[in-house]
Amino acid sequence: MFKPSASRLALATLLLTTLACGISLPAAGPTAAPPTAAPPTVAPPTPAQPATASVPNLRGVFGAPITFATHAEFAGYGFVVGPSDGQFGAIAASGGNYTFYGVAGSGAACAGTPNARDSTYTFTGTLDHVTGSTCAKLFGPGDAPAGWGFDKNYAGGGQVVRFAAASQTGWLMPFHGEVWWPNPNTPDHTCNGLPLVQCFYASLGLAVSTDNGRTFKVVGQIFQPTQPLPAYFNKGMDVSTGYGSFIVADAAGRHLDNPPADPASAYFYLFFTDFVTGGAGACATAVCLGVARAPYSAVVAAALSGDPHQVATVFHKYDGAAPDPWRQPATSDTPDDSGTAGTFAPLWTDQAVIGTAVLYDSRFNVYLAAYHSREGIEVRASSDLLHWSGPITAPYKEPGQTLYTTTLIGDTTDPTIGGAAPRLYFTTFPAAEFPNWKHAVLESLPLMLSRGGT
């Protein structure tokens, strides 16, 4: 029997614990206490902030949902879990068609790579509906460079972003990697009360394609939680980092075309979630959103270098400290995750966030962050990637359903750029059947923006 993925339930775990029962912040060392069942103290959402140079004053309205794909359709291509178990990405083809990249598990009927789990695959279609898949795995657990173990049990991408620098071109994919272990504190060794879900330590890896997205190679780790693996391992707790969103902007967070006219002035910004030691508000008990960045050309050079240590040291987290708020290392540069990575400053503290996806919208020259909260799926906006509005939408929810994962895809010719109505994608389950993928439906809905706060 196919074993459900631990990380396909990373978001589910946090939805059921962070948003219902609470997750305790681990202590700063290997004697971290397991999470308690005490509800977190979460401040109510703040209203959208007044318009400033950094915080746009927008209003968002979700349109009606449509079915992007049913599980029966994906099962017809050979999948038993997903796609997609997390955030997915897209490369535009001709005639309004796309190749999508997401994480899934295959069964015996898969014609490409049967009986492979927790791996990255492609599927095809339009922005409205999935039309096919070869069910061929691009990469999976254990495909990290030799000696690196951050993706031992799970390797799921992921957004795809073009690069071009120094006559080198291709695509980059941040992806979610995991290490699992059985919970020593429960009779069935599961974490957070979910069936067949072990505890896990997540981080973000990087894969690169130089053949226009036909194949991807894992080149290293680009983000690690602040606390090392030993702070969690063999304890009744886990930590999720999201799936990673890349944005190309200048040093002030202003949007740049990709490829940028001047790569020397451009940066890749990487969004993640993590616990904040001593965090305030919602961040005292739950993961919050942070950001790291690296020079554009340095990311390309690292991705093509063949040196995983160069990859592991290219990004630095934002911690808000003067005089340079971008000095905290994004990983510990230890192949076994035994070292402590840098700290970070959460981008807001009034709401816990799960499964955040970030997208640039060209019509309003703003960035959008879509995420799960206690209330449902919500969206915030920013003009500089650091200062964010309060929620600009009413929470989206479906009565009797559990919503899972969040992906934003642009409605322009570039899937990484939104226009009049960028698309939000998520999977919905009947609440009583969650997380049984046989009952899953992948839906999309448009996000329509206008000027003026709520």
Residue 14, pLDDT above cutoff 60: no
Q: What is the pLDDT of residues 58-81, one digit of tens each?
A: 999 999 999 999 999 999 999 999
d(CA 138, CA 144): 13
Residue 48, pLDDT above cutoff 80: no
Residue 51 has a pLDDT of 54
Domain 52-330+344-451 class, CATH top level:
mainly beta
The pair of three-digit structure tokens given for residue 196, joined into one six-digit string: 């067949």
Residue 445, pLDDT above cutoff 90: yes
Contact in structure between 415 and 425 (CB atoms under 8 Å): no
Q: Is 109 exposed, middle or buried (0-12, 13-18, 19+ CB in 10 A)?
A: middle
Query: What does pLDDT average to over the chain?
Result: 88
- Among 34-38, 351-355, 401-405, which is the least confidently predicted range? 34-38
- Among 17-21, 55-59, 71-75, 159-163, which is the least confidently predicted range? 17-21
Dihedral sign, CA of 365, 371, 374, 376? positive
d(CA 415, CA 412): 6
Q: What is the pLDDT of residues 242-300, one digit of tens each?
A: 999 999 999 999 999 999 999 999 999 999 999 998 889 999 999 999 999 999 999 99
Q: What is the pLDDT of residues 164-215, one digit of tens each?
A: 988 899 999 999 999 999 999 888 888 877 667 789 999 999 999 999 999 9
Residue 33, pLDDT above cutoff 80: no
* Cα dihedral 138, 142, 143, 149 in deg (nearest 10): 140
d(CA 412, CA 99): 15
d(CA 242, CA 353): 10
The beta-carbon contacts of 248-257 under 8 Å, at least 24 apart in sequence, are 248/161, 248/296, 249/385, 252/384, 253/382, 253/383, 253/384, 253/385, 253/386, 254/384, 255/360, 255/362, 255/365, 255/367
Contact in structure between 153 and 200 (CB atoms under 8 Å): yes
